[in-house]
Structure 1
Amino acid sequence: MSHDGVAPRAVMRSVAFLSAGALAVPLLAGCSSEDPAGKPLAASDIGFADRSLVADGGTLRWAVDSVPDTLNTFQSDADATTTRVAQAVLPAMYRLDANGRPQLDADYLEKAEVVETEPRQVVLYKLNQQAVWSDGREIGAADFAAQWRALSGKDTAYWTARNAGYDRIEKIERGKNDLEVKVTFARPYADWKSLFSPLYPKDVMGTPDSFNDSARKKLKVTAGPFALEKVDRKDDEVTLARNPRWWGHPAKLNEIVLRAVPRDKRAAALAAGELDLAEIDPESVKRITVAAKGTRSATPLMGPGSNLSAADALRSWAVAKGTDEEAADDEISAREKQREEAAAYARQQQALRGFEVRRSLEPAYTQLALNGAEGPLADERVRRAVARAIDREALASAVLTPLGLPAEPVGSHLALSGQAAYADNSGALGGQDTAEAQALLADAGWVPGGPLKEEKKKGDKAAGSKGEKTAGSKGEKDSSDEEESEDGTYIVGEDDKAPREADKALREADREKKQDPRKHQESGDGSQHLAQDGKQYANKLTQGGAPGAYAPRGTAAPAGAAAGALAKDGKPLTLRFVLPSGPGSQTLRTVADRISGMLQKVGIRTEITKVADESYFKDHIASGQFDLALYSWPASAFPATDARPIYAKPVPAADGSLNVEQNYTRVGTDQVDQLFDQAVSTLDEDESRGLIRKADSRIWAAAGSIPLYQRPQLTAARTNIANAGAFGFQTPVFEDMGFLRKGAAHPSASPTEK
């Protein structure tokens, strides 16, 4: 999981979006002579070094989110660590390059090509004659055939999560010799390069029992630069050891230990010498950046106690020096504990000087999902209004600019900049335009200042009783701009209680100042003199709000101020905005607050609810219990295959329910489905890319999903680690990873910088 939130697993990639057949779509960029795919927004940053500069031996301790429940990437509970292990120990016919495009892996393949198209598509694979499994057996047609039978979907005894592409194969047979594998397709398949990566041995794929159970916990037979040595669930580690039968460049490292460490504990684990490489959150980036500058401790704005205001410090001093002995003892103990924590933090900062931050962009993007199944967002005009109210450039800048990464919004649902299918098709929907958003809402019947019916929420007490909270009564005494309940729900876009309360606090502070000016005199060191009631006075300071935070009542609203709340049929336009609450989701919550502010300007209120990470997808997103949500999708080099289930039109299931696959927005069209079907069946690569871009334009126009920004990839690495870090699109080259030889120059970010 990335620092900016929860993301669906790549192996389950799928979603869908609603109709825009009547909407005009601009001419595709693919029709021009200039390639619209462009280049990746950020290059990989892996500390590149030639193999000759990398020492032989050593153990690389690499943080992961979890020890995988299964080592079979084709099962539903496979995760990112499953994929990482497979990349190191199993064959892949194709691997991704720095532009996110598939390239033949010469360690396994000499050649692969379509040799026939009529009457059937036939692909001929010519294997590297040195390629063998760790038990000495040659990799061959029997392994390809076993994987096809297991994943074709014809035998339901195999518990497979996906069979895309394999279900189009008619037969697999040996070619002219043992090094040739001939694959014949029953139907044309454009994404044939996605198949057999990874390739499991026939020992795993040969029977349902070995596929379903044996490969979950161990892989006895492998064929990569590393082999699986052990999975230690007690210590939360997976150990990969150098494969002595590997025929390619021998691995530089003796071992790679994948250690499960929570993201919020990785900085401490790095400082303690327990990790060498770890993806980290923005807060840890700040720590390592400060440490690298050579300071012995963090700035006053970092570490234990950095969140305390001047008023908090004054209150602490007052309590510690006060007459209440019990409270004073507690405060003194708390202050001593904080000093100890600060000292430990300073020691960690010193240890972090041996690390650096390697930065790129993940092959994944964060999007705003709009649930079009019911409520206001079932109306395409309202979805389009939401999209036109949002400033995607501002959101990308807020997340990426502070991290030193290019802040450019994502222009496609189906690929990222640099990938072959990429083109910025956002023009099919249009950019930020407040007036256009308001016009769309008015056309949909949402008008400002309409009468509101009294609505009793489920679980609310009767009107007037203690604990009642209503959303949207204009002028109501207890309403607020951001009113948060005990369950983490709060409304953005209600009336102006906050400015009123701030005005009241400022007037009280003014009155106190006139009555006792000594309370506001400053001493030479900047601290305020406290009278006998210092504790009470410090409390009042923190409750009064920040001077200057609000304009005096009656001040004219600035340009671009929020519009009045909208209503229709007696109901306010309020959207449920569901967010994960875990420590790694702070960026998502910040983005959500900004989006809520943007929507408020066109009269749309949001009800923000924070839920536990573990229930976010299952209980809210997948079940449709949201109007707005933020989550990420991985980019694929094969969007015709992998993206179709994400954007396919939901269809009724046999039991009467709606089969949405991973189309959590419930928005889709027959036209988009047809374009995907055509793209995946077209063997002309240029034509297939054109169809994908056309499908993306239709998806934009339907406004079920709004891509925002490519996710940051932030990796802490020891400064002497080579060929590992923020990989971006590129598949890691595990055999080249290692520690620099003594005296070797500091590695460059990527091969192009060498």
Structure 2
Amino acid sequence: MRNSTALALAALLAGAGLTGGCGGASAPGHQGTPPKTGSSDINPQPRDSLRKGGTLRLSIQQWITQYNIGQVDGLQGDGASILTLTEPKLWFADDNGVPAANPEVLVSAEVGTSGGAQVVTYKLNPKATWSDATPITWQDFATQWKTRNGSDDRFQLSGTTGYDDIANVERGADERTVKVTFKQPYADWQTLFDPLLPGSAVDTPEKFNTGWIEKIPVWGGPWKIGSADKTSQTITMVPNESYWGTRPLLDSIVFRALDSTAITEAYLNNEIDQAPGRQPEAYRRLAGAANTVMRTGGRWDETQLTLGHAGPLADVRVRQAVTNAVDRAAIAAAQSAGLPFKVNTLGSHFFMPSQDGYRDNSGDEGRFDLERAKRLLDEAGWKASADGKTRTRDGAALKLVYVVNGNGSTDLPQLVQNMLGQAGITVELRKVPGNDYFTKYVNVGAFDLASFRQVDNVFPSLLYPVYRTGGDQNYGGVATPEIDKLIDQAGAETDRAKAAELLNRADALLWQAGHSVPLFQTPQISAVRPGLANFGAFGLRSERQYVDVGWTR
């Protein structure tokens, strides 16, 4: 999911008096190996050693329009991150991405069987309460299932994965016990109901689709929205005074919407307390800044080029030609320039390098092979001009529209444009407003090419809507019945190793179908204030809703 949603050095930094992250030591002019997937660097400190109070100032990429992550427009990563602060979280993940129950919400969750069916029984904390003073009960689970299982098309869904595998959600021994019965085994059941949304605020299509626009109507987490100023593009989070669990140390968190090009400057001007250093120019400026420490980690974070399936791209040979014309190694090298470590290229749609299950399945289709790309275009009837710079068929030019987020850099789109040009594919870069990029273009498939990040998909099932036929997040629309079958089999396979093998087979078919091009594992490099504790590069671990984030004394 791009999170929808959400939204990454030692000897090299010594001259600036900064501490290093998990990427390892790198001498000037030498790039070390990237941080292993799952590594983190957050300056861990016990709560009682930190100062109570203070404000954390962070940036987001755009104003948040839709906060309901179950709704089709609710997958924007920053919006999902803010929502997660305000609603009950059932699970927190460790450094390996393995979930453990959050006892403040979930006392226990036991997996069993009944009549051969998988049954999960949840026991909720009896203190858990929504902001409207109603208890959090099994009925909230039941409503989330009914609204997100796809049985009622009035609910505009971001995806049905997992919820459509549930046969029933019912009351257990009491109101705080939930019994969830599945139609078939579902391996990634812990992805469901997390965060839990209030049933009273999503139980009708109107509430579900529009009741969360620019607001969170009911909350049940450690934070709530204190104010949202659209003019200044700031959202201020304050502690939820009725929260029954661990209270935040901070007095507030202020999120400010900024263009990506303005974030570095805002950090250097002491307007925000964290800035990403994953782009070479940003890293160069941030690594030498005063009152700064660079933290690195290995997150599940993919930058992907997605292909449409209309016009010239309706022909799989043209999609494969695009894939063969893209030099992923060159793109990763460009991304690595000026950074303390090399950036990983990706050969998988489902796993990150060094993650269990990772295998490079790109094969011939994912290999940079300009001559193969040209041959495929010839076979598809697109004939090259005398100079090889353009191609036509039946008098029409081969031209693809690459929709570019106006809030982001054009470096990657320009690289891809030049690479495809070598095969005779003309690419128009069409820059659109950042606030419209997903809702008016990507989400509705109004593109030939589009690139964006997908983050924190540690559970493979979170990606199933991206690659299934008719998947709500399969924005390019490329899919096959064979891929669907393998994904369905993986989803029902509780043996992780066997599930990974099925997904690797599906992955090879995704490369062959020309669905998309995983480009590189986006590096997690973050500039933060040195006095900030329990914050930085989280890797695969959960940040516990920022309740432990604070400033040193």
TM-score of the alignment, normalized to the shorter chain, above 0.5: yes
**Structure 1 residue 675, shift from structure 2 partner:** 1.3
- 2:326 is aligned with 1:384: no
1:285 counterpart residue number: 283
CA distance in 1, matches of 2:130, 2:185: 31
Q: Which AA in structure 1 matches 2:253?
A: I
8 Å contact kept, 2:106–2:124: yes
1:415 counterpart residue number: 351
CA distance in 2, matches of 1:436, 1:399: 25
Select 1:682's aligned residue among 493, 510, 530.
Answer: 493
CA distance in 1, matches of 2:215, 2:442: 33
- Classify 1:406/1:96 alpha carbon distance in 2 versus 1 (closer, same or farther; 3 Å): farther
1:694 counterpart residue number: 505
Higher strand share: 2
**Structure 1 residue 58, shift from structure 2 partner:** 0.9
- Classify 1:219/1:388 alpha carbon distance in 2 versus 1 (closer, same or farther; 3 Å): closer
CA distance in 2, matches of 1:256, 1:267: 19
CA distance in 2, matches of 1:569, 1:139: 61
- 2:64 is aligned with 1:68: yes
Q: Which AA in structure 2 matches 1:232?
A: D
Select 1:673's aligned residue among 459, 473, 484.
Answer: 484
2:454 counterpart residue number: 633
1:737 counterpart residue number: 549
Q: Which shifted more, 162-171 or 206-215?
A: 206-215
- 2:143 is aligned with 1:146: yes
**Structure 1 residue 720, shift from structure 2 partner:** 1.0
CA distance in 1, matches of 2:212, 2:374: 55
1:587 counterpart residue number: 411
Q: Which AA in structure 2 matches 1:426?
A: S
Q: Which AA in structure 1 matches 2:415?
A: V
Select 1:643's aligned residue among 447, 452, 463.
Answer: 463
CA distance in 1, matches of 2:427, 2:222: 51
2:19 counterpart residue number: none
- Classify 1:414/1:204 alpha carbon distance in 2 versus 1 (closer, same or farther; 3 Å): same
8 Å contact kept, 2:469–2:481: yes
8 Å contact kept, 1:100–1:418: no
- Classify 1:276/1:115 alpha carbon distance in 2 versus 1 (closer, same or farther; 3 Å): same
- 2:424 is aligned with 1:604: yes
- Classify 1:632/1:237 alpha carbon distance in 2 versus 1 (closer, same or farther; 3 Å): closer
* 3-state SS of paired residue (1:609): strand
**Structure 1 residue 143, shift from structure 2 partner:** 2.3
Question: Could you state the TM-score of these two structures normalised by the residue count of structure 1?
Answer: 0.61
- Classify 1:113/1:586 alpha carbon distance in 2 versus 1 (closer, same or farther; 3 Å): same
* 3-state SS of paired residue (2:547): helix
**1:229-275 Cα shifts (integer Å, max 9, x gaps):** 33333433222222344444432212212222333333343344432
- 2:189 is aligned with 1:369: no
- 2:9 is aligned with 1:198: no
1:168 counterpart residue number: 165
CA distance in 1, matches of 2:443, 2:147: 27
**Structure 1 residue 627, shift from structure 2 partner:** 4.9
* 3-state SS of paired residue (1:403): coil
CA distance in 1, matches of 2:292, 2:531: 9
* 3-state SS of paired residue (2:42): coil
CA distance in 2, matches of 1:225, 1:584: 32
8 Å contact kept, 1:414–1:635: no
CA distance in 1, matches of 2:207, 2:440: 32
CA distance in 1, matches of 2:181, 2:300: 32
**Structure 1 residue 671, shift from structure 2 partner:** 0.6
- Classify 1:384/1:163 alpha carbon distance in 2 versus 1 (closer, same or farther; 3 Å): closer
- 2:531 is aligned with 1:720: yes
1:254 counterpart residue number: 251
* 3-state SS of paired residue (2:400): strand
Structure 2: tracts of 5 or more residues without a match: 8-33
Question: Could you state the TM-score of these two structures normalised by the residue count of structure 2?
Answer: 0.81
8 Å contact kept, 1:645–1:663: yes
CA distance in 2, matches of 1:443, 1:426: 22
Q: Which AA in structure 2 matches 1:391?
A: D
**Structure 1 residue 49, shift from structure 2 partner:** 2.7
1:10 counterpart residue number: 4
Aligned residues: 523
**Structure 1 residue 134, shift from structure 2 partner:** 4.7
Q: Which AA in structure 2 matches 1:50?
A: P
**1:203-238 Cα shifts (integer Å, max 9, x gaps):** 324555554555445446533232333333343322
Q: Which shifted more, 718-727 or 47-56?
A: 47-56
8 Å contact kept, 1:401–1:407: no
Q: Which shifted more, 621-630 or 357-366?
A: 621-630
CA distance in 2, matches of 1:609, 1:112: 49
* 3-state SS of paired residue (1:585): coil
Identity %: 34
Q: Which AA in structure 2 matches 1:682?
A: E
* 3-state SS of paired residue (2:220): coil
1:402 counterpart residue number: 338
CA distance in 1, matches of 2:370, 2:199: 59
8 Å contact kept, 1:39–1:418: no
Structure with greater Cα Rg? 1
1:97-112 equivalences under 5 Å are: 97-112=94-109
CA distance in 1, matches of 2:315, 2:73: 35
**Structure 1 residue 399, shift from structure 2 partner:** 0.5
8 Å contact kept, 1:61–1:276: yes
1:448-527 equivalences under 5 Å are: 472=385, 474=387, 494=389
**Structure 1 residue 721, shift from structure 2 partner:** 1.1
**Structure 1 residue 153, shift from structure 2 partner:** 3.8
CA distance in 2, matches of 1:719, 1:439: 54
8 Å contact kept, 2:466–2:473: yes
1:179-578 equivalences under 5 Å are: 179-207=176-204, 210-219=207-216, 221-279=218-276, 282-290=280-288, 292=289, 353-360=290-297, 363-375=300-312, 377-417=313-353, 419-427=355-363, 429=365, 431-434=367-370, 436-437=372-373, 472=385, 474=387, 494=389, 574-576=398-400, 578=402
- Classify 1:203/1:568 alpha carbon distance in 2 versus 1 (closer, same or farther; 3 Å): closer
Q: Which AA in structure 1 matches 2:361?
A: N
* 3-state SS of paired residue (1:164): coil
* 3-state SS of paired residue (2:334): helix
**1:401-445 Cα shifts (integer Å, max 9, x gaps):** 422243221121123235555332223645334555566556666
**Structure 1 residue 636, shift from structure 2 partner:** 2.0
* 3-state SS of paired residue (1:181): strand
**Structure 1 residue 572, shift from structure 2 partner:** 9.4
CA distance in 1, matches of 2:73, 2:476: 22
1:742-753 equivalences under 5 Å are: none
CA distance in 2, matches of 1:378, 1:156: 28
CA distance in 1, matches of 2:223, 2:306: 40
- Classify 1:444/1:47 alpha carbon distance in 2 versus 1 (closer, same or farther; 3 Å): same
8 Å contact kept, 2:140–2:198: yes
- Classify 1:388/1:221 alpha carbon distance in 2 versus 1 (closer, same or farther; 3 Å): closer
CA distance in 1, matches of 2:239, 2:164: 35
**Structure 1 residue 112, shift from structure 2 partner:** 1.6
1:113 counterpart residue number: 110
Select 2:516's aligned residue among 702, 705, 711.
Answer: 705
8 Å contact kept, 1:360–1:405: no
Q: Which AA in structure 2 matches 1:580?
A: V
CA distance in 1, matches of 2:216, 2:315: 50
**1:154-193 Cα shifts (integer Å, max 9, x gaps):** 4556554444333333332332345432112244433321
- Classify 1:620/1:719 alpha carbon distance in 2 versus 1 (closer, same or farther; 3 Å): same
2:90 counterpart residue number: 93
8 Å contact kept, 1:579–1:588: no
* 3-state SS of paired residue (1:675): helix
